[in-house]
Structure formats: C-alpha cells, structure tokens
Chains A and B, each alone.
Chain A
Amino acid sequence: EDQVTQSPEALRLQEGESSSLNCSYTVSGLRGLFWYRQDPGKGPEFLFTLYSAGEEKEKERLKATLTKKESFLHITAPKPEDSATYLCAVQVYSGAGSYQLTFGKGTKLSVIP
C-alpha cells in the first residue's frame, strides 16, 4: 500500500529561522511528488511538482527537493505569512490510464514574529 508520511506534525519557528519539512514515501512507480500550502479553512494551493530524484524547485523563500525516498521543503528566513499547513502528495500510475494521488497528513508551520 502506498504511504506518505510527513514530519514533523507541527513546527514553530521564529521569524528568520530557516528549517525543513520532510515528506517520506513508499510507493511503486512514482510519477510525481506535489507540495501544497493550505491556509485554515481554505483549499490547498499548489506550490511545486517534482518528477525525478535530484530535482529542485524554488519559489520565494521555499525550495523543494526530491530523493528516491523522500522530499524536503526548505524554508529560508521565514516570515509570519508563511504560516500554514504544508501538504505533500505522491502520484502513481494506477492502471487503465489513470493516476492516484495519495496525501500526507501535513505539517502545520507557525512562524512567530
């Protein structure tokens, strides 16, 4: 069974204190790994897709990396507005031309001014 585990469950950072969120996965035939940001009471907002080990993508203070078994979301010099829950999801081919997306439970990030 495909599994996605995110750690830590919650993370409190001081403004400017860099850190990383982890997403580890056990799947057969990874097609892509997705990162989303979710604010309270809102739908997830797409951030990145990574397709192969060694790939990196950046957006403002966020950088996502991918290995064969995990992905990291690095947050550099975070600001209070980066506070949100960050979701990781893996996409695998499920047969008959369709794909399955399995989500982790998320990491709730709080950045304190």
Chain B
Amino acid sequence: SQTIHQWPATLVQPVGSPLSLECTVEGTSNPNLYWYRQAAGRGLQLLFYSVGIGQISSEVPQNLSASRPQDRQFILSSKKLLLSDSGFYLCAWSRGSSGNTIYFGEGSWLTVV
C-alpha cells in the first residue's frame, strides 16, 4: 500500500528565517506530487504541483518555492519567511495519470513569529 510522510509536523520560525518542509511517498512510482496550504476560514489552496523529477508548476505567486530532487520526494522551501506564510501545509500525491484521487499527508503547522 502507499504511504505519504511529511515532516516536521510543527515548527515555529522567526520572520526572515529559511524554511524547508519535506515529503516522501512510498509504495508507488512516478506519482504526481502537490503542496497545499490551508489557512483558517479558507479552503485548501494549491501552491505547487509536480508531474516528474525537476518539473514544478506554481499556482500562485508567493514567497515559497518547491523542488523535486527524486521521484518520490517533494520539498517546500523559502529563503526568508514572512508572517503571512504561517499556516497548515499539506503534501499530497496522486497516481501518475492526471485526474486521479489526491491523497494527503498529515500536514505541517508553520508559525512565523
């Protein structure tokens, strides 16, 4: 069966510090990978998605970037965090063919202070 791991689960970072959230998927190959953000009172917002190694699409302009160095690894980064980057970040995956069900990780709570 497939599993998705995301870490760290929670972190508190000062404004201007860097960020790295990591996500790995096991039990499948060539998955589509996603980063979402969930803010209080708002729906899930797609930040980035990737259909293969080194292929990243960004949905919204922002202070964040994503990378996919390996087939089942997805990383969300920032060089300098802003207060507005606080939120609940979710990594997700789906089977390689577009249009399939998206499965989510446990999420990472980021508080920028």
Contact = CB atoms under 8 A, between A and B. Distances in A.
Interface residues of A, number: 26
Contact of A99 (B90, B98, B109): B98
B27 to A, nearest CB: 15
Contacts of A46: 101-104
Interface string B83-113: 0000000101000001101111111010000
B90 A101 contact: no
State the main secondary structure of chain A at its contact with B. strand
A99 B104 contact: no
A104 B43 contact: yes
Interface string A90-104: 010100011111111
Given A41-B107, A41-B109, A43-B90, A101 B102 contact: yes
Nearest to B105: A43
29 contacts: A4-B43, A34-B101, A34-B102, A42-B106, A42-B107, A43-B6, A43-B90, A43-B92, A43-B104, A43-B105, A43-B106, A44-B90, A44-B104, A45-B104, A46-B104, A49-B101, A87-B44, A89-B44, A91-B99, A93-B99, A97-B98, A98-B51, A98-B98, A101-B46, A102-B43, A103-B44, A104-B43, A105-B43, A106-B43
Interface of A: 4, 31-32, 34, 36, 41-46, 49, 87, 89, 91, 93, 97-106
